[in-house]
Amino acid sequence: MTTKVSLLPSVLMSHINEEVFLHGWIHSYRKMGGIAFLVIRDGCGTVQVVIETPELLEISEDLIRESIVEVTGFLVSQPNVKQGVEVQARAINVLVKSETLPIEIDRQKIFNKIDLDVLLKHRSCSLRNLRTRAVFKIQSVLGKAFREFLDSQSFVEIHSPKIVKMGAEGGSEVFSLKYFEQSAYLTQSPQLYKQIMVGVFEKVYEIGPVYRAEEHNTSRHLNEYISMDVEFGFINSEQDIIDLHQALLKYVFGYVQDQCEPELNELNVIVPQSQNAFPQITLEEAVKVVKDEYKYVCTKPGDLDPEAERLICRYAQEKYGVDVIYITSYPVKKRPFYTMPNSEKPELTKSFDVLFRGLEITTGGQRIHEYSHLISNLDKFGYKADDFEGYLECFKFGMPPHGGFGMGLERLTKQLCNLDNVRLATLFPRDRNRIIP
């Protein structure tokens, strides 16, 4: 009897000494004397196929990498290969012939030297590299873990519109578009909608694309990214949000550790494991720490610049042995209009950022929930209340004290996988110069 198998390592291991049928792409081809070795790749893994008969050698010699084949053969244990098993081919059927690849995708040392622009230009090919693919498997699991944790805490998933009338975060970093007779924007954040939905479900989350027309062409900025947003009501202060964020992050890390062992090994990634609480420090203290400990004077008033972010994470690692740190008490001037000021220190807000291995991955905070307070704050920020009519309505009809956060999926992936550039954590990045593929 022949069993159809996928190339998931655990599946292969459970069919040793059986005849199997598999399909996939020819990932690599190597001939030694009278024997050929194919590595076949499917959506879950790879396996080595050994070809010894003259008839099969003739078929395989013609095959260019990435051609798709069906293989029938005997699966045996083989401790000398990566997968621990190999297939001794009995029959090969060619389903689709490939053309020659424009870039190397198998030999890692050569792949590592390919220019980022070339990797992104030939994205359909570079994504088939096993290490690259591992990044996006991990990314998929990060999203799944985020969902699973919040579902378990009775949050409701929402889907807010991406075509909007107003930018949510202030600033001019919005893409405008023509919407029939009106002007509209691509949303910068589901911020205003997730707040409205607290009035409906109390606890909500969303995973969806957001758009930032930032001119920045940096290793941290994308013009389209996936925002993982959370918002919930009946909080006492921003501390409740920080506590939820921390529990979520620890769950997500544990989940990835559990579910992505082959991918983490492929990438040599170490997932943060610490049981310790992640430290919290005010922005003012953080600026002082980087000055006192590392002689670095932060260049960004009211915020941490990239070097200060890196140094404060170094401090978290050296002092507490952790990869994550919460920075609190940002000034009113640096936060959007919806942010709750600190009633004892009105120049500061009840907001925070989360830094992971040297980079901001999350912003969050408590929001203003009283209608009159929000109206006066809009005025202070120079906005017209009329422009926010659809948002403001919910505050007339009972909104609880609430808050939440937004976490960038690509930045989280980048930091977890120790990648140099956020584009490497994006399937098809949209940046200052790139809208294809």
Q: Which residues bind ligand AMO (CB under 6 A)?
A: 169, 189, 191, 212, 214, 221-222, 225, 227, 229, 360-365, 404-408, 410-411, 422
Q: Residue 37: name the closest of 70, 84, 86 by CA.
A: 86
Q: How far is the CB of 222 from ligand AMO (least distance, A)?
A: 4
Q: CA 311, CA 257: separation in Å to the nearest integer?
A: 26
Q: How far is the CB of 234 from ligand AMO (least distance, A)?
A: 17
Closer Cβ to ligand AMO, 212 or 310, answer by number: 212
3-class DSSP state of 273: coil
Question: Which amino acid does the sequence have at 330?
Answer: Y
Closer Cβ to ligand AMO, 227 or 342, answer by number: 227
Cβ pair 134, 263 in contact under 8 A: yes
Closer Cβ to ligand AMO, 45 or 208, answer by number: 208
Closer Cβ to ligand AMO, 149 or 225, answer by number: 225
Cβ pair 430, 217 in contact under 8 A: no
Q: How far is the CB of 248 from ligand AMO (least distance, A)?
A: 13
Closer Cβ to ligand AMO, 217 or 273, answer by number: 217
> By Cβ distance, which residue is nearest to ligand AMO?
408
Cβ pair 327, 281 in contact under 8 A: yes
Within a 10 A sphere around the Cβ of 83, how many other Cβ atoms? 17
Q: Where are the beta strands (DSSP E) in 116-202?
A: 156-157, 163-164, 176-179, 182-186
Cβ pair 103, 129 in contact under 8 A: no
Cβ pair 166, 336 in contact under 8 A: no
Q: How far is the CB of 194 from ligand AMO (least distance, A)?
A: 7
* Tokens of residue 362, six digits: 């999350």
Closer Cβ to ligand AMO, 77 or 217, answer by number: 217
Please list the residues that pair with 408 across neighbouring strands.
227
Q: How far is the CB of 215 from ligand AMO (least distance, A)?
A: 11
Q: How far is the CB of 410 from ligand AMO (least distance, A)?
A: 6
